[in-house]
Amino acid sequence: MSASTALTTWRFPPRPGVGASGRNIQVRANFFPVMTLPGQNIHHYDVNITPDVPPAKNRRIYQLWEDEQLLSGALNGIRPVFDGRKNVFAARALPIAQGEVAFNIDYFDDDDSKKRGPKKFTLIIKKVGEINMQRLSAFLDGRLADTPNDAIMALDILLRHRPSLTYTTIGRCFYTPDSAASIANGAQLWQGFHQSIRPTRGQMLINLDVSATAFYQPGPVIEMVAKILGRHSGADLRAPLSDRDRLKVEKVLKGLKIVVTHRGQIRRKFRITKITSTPANRTMFSLESTGLENSVAGYFQAKYNHQLYFPHLPCLVVGDPARQVYLPMEVCDIVPGQRHLRKLNERQTAEMIKFTCQPPHVRSNKISAGITILQQRDNDYLREFGVQIGHEMTIVNARVLPAPAISYHPASKEPIITPREGAWNLRDKMVAQGVTVRSWSVIAFGQETDYPVAAIQKFVTLLVQTCEECGVFIQNRQPPISYANPLGNVEKTLIDAYMLAGNSFQERPQMVLCVLPNTGVPLYAEIKRVSDTIVGVATQCIQAKHMFAAKRQYCANVCLKMNVKLGGMNSYLSNTQLPFVSERPTIILGADVTHPAPGSASNQSIAALVGSMDAQCSRFSAAIRVQKGRQEVIQDLSGMLIELLKTFYQTCGAKPERIVFYRDGVSEGQFAEVLRCEVEAIRRACVSLEPTYRPTVTFVVVQKRHHARFFPIRKEDSDRSGNVLPGTVVETGVTHPSEFDFYLCSHPGLQGTSKPTHYHVLHDENRFSPDALQELTYRLCYLYCRATRSVSVCPPAYYAHLVAARARFHATGEGWSESSSEGSVSSNGSAQTVPNVAAVPLGGMIGVPNGNGISAVAPAAAAAAVGKKCGVKEGAVRMMNYGVVKEELTKVMYFM
């Protein structure tokens, strides 16, 4: 049997019992039990509504049909439920004829006046079949291996039907504008609830959680424009918009629905396609009746006796591109209920975090209230199907795993420490293996008046002293300092600083310390692009505000980052703490695929794979690929793994006999495909190195995008923030009925409610016991090298996410220009399109060694060389140039 054939027949491994390690406790989970399930088959119907409309309108049309049928008695009192698209479910057979039955429906849209008459729709319904609910009961009891997805879907739609009639529905969430909070740039946050139905051993559960998302603020477009530009109100828009401001406004407004306000009761809706480059008093068009030209401002004065207050502002362009319509901004309102689909900016994100951050007891109370708010305790549809929902959150058994003992350098006053509540500090500790920095320099991105030399040197002195206390030795306490324009040529600046350090100390530079303005993601991204892919030197960026107010704790955190970037080791766990890794050569892998953000110009995803390179799981190497966008399966996992296996062999002198693969970013619907493709890729990689090489593989999916939350019942089982303690593991009560999965809250609560990580084992040739895998995973969480806290996701998966995020800077320059919509923007402001390349390896070295062994970089030649290597056409080189990490950096954790 071939590997491919074997994989298609594999099932996910069953749960190998339950764990016993740690202290037994109970916690409250945000799951509500479904007390009774439908006792009879559910009848499934297909519905087709024409012409096609979005699901929200589909629901309104369907509801008109249902209300009409109920009123006439045609449904015999049956209350079917609808998913908003094509599926209708009923507890009893609907009294309709066999085959397709068509109904005509008159629908008055919100923006249609009665004079226009209704829109005509046709609803066609036909029976598809019946769903056997006994199969669901057998699955929950462990008597059936295959998940009865049809029965679970029917229940899900039943439970979503009533809230969908009342609230704005987005995915699995229900939102209301009640208590909406305004945030920056014309957005507002709506509160709501996430709801899903989940199977567990013996019963179905409703997972309910609070949720929030951003919408565009309704109201006058003029006020929206003012908010986008940071003005107090529309009255402040007294001058024409600059080109920069116009493009900024267009980026936000494009695609939004507006309603006109200048025609009394006739309030037609349009969608904005763009805004004009000229103001309303200079935007000209020809009148259809006379052929004469007139300005938009002049037309509104003549046609509607409406003198514009803002004739100096551009117009909105709406309607069909073949017949564009110009509307002054001041006669348009933003239609309510439009979701903000673009990525939130830094300020908006900060305001959203503040809005959604709720301590555990507040979140718990809101969730408990939500079951009533969504009318899930009792409604006509639940009664129709014979379903009852429990009113209280589920209480489940849990265990608190013991924290590991963390080791530092033996010369430390406290070389071994067992953290309490997941946190510790570096006081009296030296890193396990500290580097020595002999050649480095400092760049201040600003003027000397902003960052005086004395202030920089004061920070450098404190940093050097702190590093020495931590066991990292910086020989040169007065590195050369240079200044640079934050908007200037970063590539030249870094190359100059690199050469300055090399010439000053007559040794290859190890690091460049960069002082950045307090805001500047584009500058940070460009620094990392140049340092990682052009110069090949580690960079440590700090914000100016931290430099001026530096404390030893801050410098200690910087020291941790510097040490691992330069090849050092901060801390480790003894062999007895990680027996699975230390007993036999073992590689711990982490993988993630990051996709372009909504509204991004990029159409490519980035796959990252990291692998441990020592028995302490403290050093990792990385491999990266750019692949076709929105594909979750890693296309060249085999090639990436070959790179890491070779590095492991070169580093450790042995091939790994065991592989543990932590795979981030996979949804349940992708489990089977990802497992099949990626385990096969692992096998191919091993066989390509040696025909008989077959290490045992455990494949674990790591999920953070879920809505499970746990709340302590007893005070002694909570931390100072009121959250469950680090090490809390839940493997029964709310987990899969039969498969090997568990929730682990591995981090201390800081603010808000802690989110556990869900680990689901899809393949296990290493035959882990629950205790062994849970303890390995939890202990790894104490080895995140740039923090003195345990982290919420096991570091291999965490590192893979960091590597992919860093590669996004290299590959596309995403988010560098608010005005760019066609491609990435280079440091000199010119836009270039991103080539569509599948699975391009990002690894190699470009540069010409000079007499001192220091690489003198030739950027243009480097770009051309990489473009030629990867088969990229001339004119589309930029992305590939920025995608290649210098070889010398791939040997260290440059991505930290």
Chain CA centroid to CA 29, Å: 24
The C-alpha torsion from 556 through 557 and 559 to 563, rounded to 10°, is 140
Residue 177: φ, ψ to 5°: -75, -5
Q: Would you say the CATH fold of 219-334 matches that of 3-18+582-807? A: no
Cβ-contact 739, 762 below 8 angstroms: no
- Please indicate, yes or no, whether the overall pTM of this predicted structure exceeds 0.85: yes
Beta-carbon contacts of residue 11 (< 8 Å; ≥ 6 apart): 145
Alpha-helical segments (H) within 425-578: 453-469, 490-505, 521-530, 544-548, 552-565
pLDDT digits (tens, 9 = 90+) for 711-739: 999 999 999 999 999 999 999 999 999 99
SS3 state of residue 155: helix
First to last CA, the chain: 43
Mean pLDDT, range 389-414, rounded to an integer: 97
Beta-carbon contacts of residue 846 (< 8 Å; ≥ 6 apart): 533, 534, 857, 862, 865, 866, 884, 886
pLDDT digits (tens, 9 = 90+) for 453-480: 999 999 999 999 999 999 999 999 999 9
Taking the C-alpha atoms of residue 569 and residue 563, their distance in angstroms, rounded to an integer, is: 7
pLDDT digits (tens, 9 = 90+) for 514-548: 999 977 678 999 999 999 999 999 999 999 999 99
pLDDT over threshold 80, residue 867 = no
Beta-carbon contacts of residue 661 (< 8 Å; ≥ 6 apart): 589, 590, 591, 678, 682, 697, 698, 699, 700
Taking the C-alpha atoms of residue 767 and residue 775, their distance in angstroms, rounded to an integer, is: 14
SS3 per residue for 503-542: HHHCCCCCEEEEEECCCCHHHHHHHHHHHHHHHCCEEEEE
Give residue limits of the domains in the chain: 3-18+582-807, 219-334, 434-568+812-890
Per-residue pLDDT at 759: 99
pLDDT over threshold 80, residue 211 = yes
Taking the C-alpha atoms of residue 30 and residue 209, their distance in angstroms, rounded to an integer, is: 7
Confidence of residue 599 (pLDDT cuts 50, 70, 90): low
Cross-strand pairs, 286: 293
- Which residue's entry shows tokens 């998302």? 213
Q: Which amino acid is at 581?
A: V
Taking the C-alpha atoms of residue 378 and residue 388, their distance in angstroms, rounded to an integer, is: 8
Angle, helix 637-652 to helix 671-689, in steps of 10 degrees = 50
Taking the C-alpha atoms of residue 276 and residue 250, their distance in angstroms, rounded to an integer, is: 9
DSSP state of 481: E
Element housing 87 (H / E): strand 87-90
pLDDT digits (tens, 9 = 90+) for 408-449: 999 999 999 999 999 999 999 999 999 999 999 999 999 999
CATH of domain 219-334: 2.170.260.10
Cβ-contact 632, 674 below 8 angstroms: yes
Q: Which amino acid is at 85?
A: R
Per-residue pLDDT at 113: 53
Cβ-contact 116, 190 below 8 angstroms: no
- Which residue's entry shows tokens 């020989």? 475
Cβ-contact 763, 170 below 8 angstroms: no
pLDDT digits (tens, 9 = 90+) for 26-82: 999 999 999 999 999 999 999 999 999 999 899 999 999 999 998 899 999 999 999
Beta strands 436-437 and 473-474, pairing class: parallel
pLDDT over threshold 60, residue 231 = yes
Cβ-contact 406, 424 below 8 angstroms: yes
Taking the C-alpha atoms of residue 679 and residue 216, their distance in angstroms, rounded to an integer, is: 43
Q: Which of 207, 211, 210 is nearest to 393 (CA)?
A: 207
Min mean pLDDT across 195-204, 567-576, 654-663, 836-845 is at 836-845
Taking the C-alpha atoms of residue 228 and residue 218, their distance in angstroms, rounded to an integer, is: 13
Mean pLDDT, range 745-752, rounded to an integer: 93
Taking the C-alpha atoms of residue 176 and residue 181, their distance in angstroms, rounded to an integer, is: 11
Q: Which amino acid is at 549?
A: A
Taking the C-alpha atoms of residue 812 and residue 694, their distance in angstroms, rounded to an integer, is: 37
Cβ-contact 747, 717 below 8 angstroms: no
Q: What number of other Cβ atoms are within 10 A of residue 53's Cβ?
A: 16
Confidence of residue 569 (pLDDT cuts 50, 70, 90): very high
Check whether the bond before 51 is cis (ω within 30° of 0). Answer: yes
Q: Which CATH class is domain 3-18+582-807?
A: alpha beta
The Cα-based distances of 504 to 501, 712, 857 in angstroms read 5, 58, 18
- The whole-chain average pLDDT of the chain stands at 89
Q: Which amino acid is at 184?
A: A
Min mean pLDDT across 321-335, 466-480, 808-822, 839-853 is at 839-853
Cβ-contact 612, 597 below 8 angstroms: no
CATH of domain 434-568+812-890: 3.40.50.2300
Cβ-contact 234, 223 below 8 angstroms: yes
Answer positive or negative: Cα dihedral of 368, 369, 373, 379: positive
Token pair, residue 654, equals 């042995």
Per-residue pLDDT at 547: 94
Q: How many CA atoms lie within 13 A of 64 on its CB side?
A: 19
Q: Strand order of the sheet with strand 119-131? A: 81-82, 87-90, 42-50, 119-131, 101-107
Q: Which of 363, 410, 458 is nearest to 723 (CA)?
A: 363
Beta-carbon contacts of residue 432 (< 8 Å; ≥ 6 apart): 407, 408, 409, 568, 569, 570, 571, 572, 618
Taking the C-alpha atoms of residue 891 and residue 644, their distance in angstroms, rounded to an integer, is: 10
Token pair, residue 867, equals 């473009």
pLDDT over threshold 90, residue 381 = yes
Mean pLDDT, range 813-842, rounded to an integer: 31
Per-residue pLDDT at 890: 84
- Which residue's entry shows tokens 């990392």? 528
3-state helix, strand, coil in the chain (%, to 5): 30, 30, 40
DSSP state of 393: P
pLDDT digits (tens, 9 = 90+) for 667-702: 999 999 999 999 999 999 999 999 999 999 999 999
Element housing 8 (H / E): helix 3-9
Taking the C-alpha atoms of residue 329 and residue 319, their distance in angstroms, rounded to an integer, is: 15
Mean pLDDT, range 564-591, rounded to an integer: 96
- Could you give the maximum distance between any two Cα atoms of the chain, in Å? 93
- Which residue's entry shows tokens 């939500």? 370
Taking the C-alpha atoms of residue 329 and residue 258, their distance in angstroms, rounded to an integer, is: 10
CA angle 62, 67, 72 (to 5 degrees): 130
Residue 241: φ, ψ to 5°: -80, 140
